[in-house]
Chain A
Amino acid sequence: MRERLQEWVPRIVLAPSFVAVLIVVYGFILYTGWLSMTNSRMLPNNEFIGLANYTKLFGLKHWSIALTNLAIFGTLYILISSVLGLFLAILLDQQIRTEGFIRTVYLYPMAISFIVTGVAWKWFLDPGIGLENTMHQWGWESFEFKWIKDRDFAIYTIVIAAIWQSSGYVMAMFLAGLRGVDNEIIKAAQVDGASGFLIYRRIIIPMMRPVFLSAFVVLTHLAIKSYDLVVAMTGGGPGRATEMPATFMYSYTFTRNQMGVGASSAIIMLIMIFSIIIPYLYSEIRVGADKR
């Protein structure tokens, strides 16, 4: 009897966490999925209306703005962060004497809340007191930088702040990757006569493929979820110019009393993230299993 109990202890220990995750993650996903097909407004109700919310969602101008913004933001953010991260990692990999200090500086934004980042950049880019004003003070009277107040350009200010926040992280990922390159491979390339530049272009950077992939997944995930930074910097404005799916979901659900539409937008976000994460995790786990 005691033996049998011992056998069950591990499962009993794991059970609360597992049940909790099952309910609050998967149960809630199902519930939100159900809500997205109901006529819920301020409060949830169970009046089934099929995919009407999705039809409505994709007919909404706000939603298409949000998707366009996500596309612009996501593309620039992922691209620039990756390139900058790799570039900085390569620079830092040249036996820099103060590497520890520089690495610490490049990475500290990652420790800060997006809200704080948002506040700093919001006022730094504010034409009235920030960069523009400062340039005027320095005597460059014609300098103009009003992007954050401009409907067409506000989204790019969010890109700037987001890159500031996460490029150091990408740098750290690439640096770890570069440090993992077998020294003998570099020596072999030197014996083959390759120059420093060529060694990076032909051998080391191609070896960073897995890091590019991880960075892509992490950054995509952050881009789709990005909410805090937009709220702190622009609040989705000016107008709705910096609306993103995450802010859209929040405002439709909690301030516009269109819970059904909000739920359907959340489901779309989930589909976007999972369509990238699941193949990635699957391949990671398979590679891991192969190694064992």
Chain B
Amino acid sequence: MSHPSQDNAIESGRLIRALIYTLLIFFVIYYLLPLWVMVANSLKTLDEIRGGDMLAPPKDITFEPWRQAWSKTQIGVEATGLKPYFLNSIIMVVPAVFLSTFLGALNGYVLTKWAFRGSNLIFGLMLLACFIPFQIVLIPMARILGMLNLAGTISGLILVHTVYGLGFTTLFFRNYYAAFPTELVRAAQIDGASFFQVFWRILIPSSGPIIVVTIIWQFTNVWNDFLFGASFSSYDSTPITVALNNLVNSSTGVKEYNVHFAGAILAALPTLIVYIVSGRYFVRGLMAGAVKG
């Protein structure tokens, strides 16, 4: 009725507002501190890190640690830098995200617009699958991958990430399509559209937001995964998270903190960029991931 009122939250005095801002800024610093530490120290020489103040900005900026981390440092047995592992991650992430998103969309479509007897049970089982501790599937999955000749391959990891991503992608699309007017589907059917025509021509064109949310969610999860990467990859299919951990926790040689920090930023960069570019969708994914049945 009235204009959207701007000032109906609880009013507070000037002193309290100053306190609120102080606290907010304090926490901004708290959250940014580790990132600052990583960035600042990835640009320092090893001597400067050892001799000095971790919180201080670099005195002489050097990009050598970045070069080292990207293409020179020794990970495992070979001195290749993180580059090949970064590429492994990309080759793994793209198909896994695409496949699980596509299947999730189809599943959501069937579960909402073509519900049949038992489809709710199927959805319940798929939803519950989102929450299992993955430790429980490690042993049999390793065996199955071996039987399929996919052990230690990127294809194997794609398969793993696709099937374990299905629960969430299905959940996202199901909840989105549940709010999609069924009348539109009925109208298209009366116009003679088949099952797939309805999907491609009616549902998909209006699924933009949820596709973005799902892709971001899956991308973040698959890129950041460590457990599956550590369990099912071999030296030529290792994803970047595992390579970074190997780099940082290798017990041999001098600890090159600056290279570790540069490597950590490299590993974080793709998801960070996605987050900064489309944070709104990222947050929506997180919220949907917090389960709305």
Q: Assess A/B contact in the complex (Cβ within 8 A).
A: yes
Chain A residues in the interface with B (C-beta under 8 A): 6, 9-11, 13-14, 16-18, 20-22, 24-29, 31-32, 35, 44, 88, 91-96, 102, 104-124, 129-131, 133-134, 137-138, 164, 168-169, 172-173, 176, 183, 186-187, 190, 196, 199-200, 214-215, 217-218, 221, 224-225, 227-228, 231-232, 235, 245-246, 249-250, 253-254, 259, 262-263, 265-267, 269-270, 273-274, 277-278, 280-281, 284-285, 287-288
Q: Which residues of B contact A274 (CB under 8 A)?
A: 128, 131
Interface residue ranges of B127-185 to A (CB < 8 Å): 127-129, 131-141, 143-144, 163-164, 166-167, 170
Interface residue ranges of B234-252 to A (CB < 8 Å): 241, 244-245, 248-249
Min CB distance, B120 to chain A, in Å? Answer: 9
Nearest B-chain residue to A123, judged by Cβ:
B257
Contact-residue size bin, chain B (C-beta under 8 Å from the other chain): 35 or more
Q: Which residues of A contact B138 (CB under 8 A)?
A: 249-250, 253-254, 266
Q: Which residues of B contact A17 (CB under 8 A)?
A: 103, 106-107, 126, 166, 170
Q: Which residues of A contact B60 (CB under 8 A)?
A: none
Q: Is the CB of B141 within 8 A of A24?
A: yes
Q: Is the CB of B139 within 8 A of A262?
A: yes
The one of A11, A44, A106 in contact with B139, judged by C-beta atoms closer than 8 angstroms, is: A44
In the assembled complex, the Cα of A168 lies from the Cα of B7 at a distance in Å of 25
Q: Which residues of B contact A117 (CB under 8 A)?
A: 34
Q: Is the CB of A11 within 8 A of B31?
A: no
Report if A176-B287 is in contact (Cβ < 8 Å); known contacts: A134-B53, A267-B136: yes
Q: Is the CB of A96 within 8 A of B20?
A: yes
Chain B residues in the interface with A (C-beta under 8 A): 5-12, 17, 20-21, 23-24, 27-28, 30-35, 37-38, 41, 49-50, 52-55, 103, 106-107, 110-111, 114, 116, 119, 122, 124-129, 131-141, 143-144, 163-164, 166-167, 170, 194-196, 220, 223-227, 230-231, 241, 244-245, 248-249, 257, 260-261, 263-265, 267-268, 271-272, 274-276, 279, 282-283, 286-287, 289-293
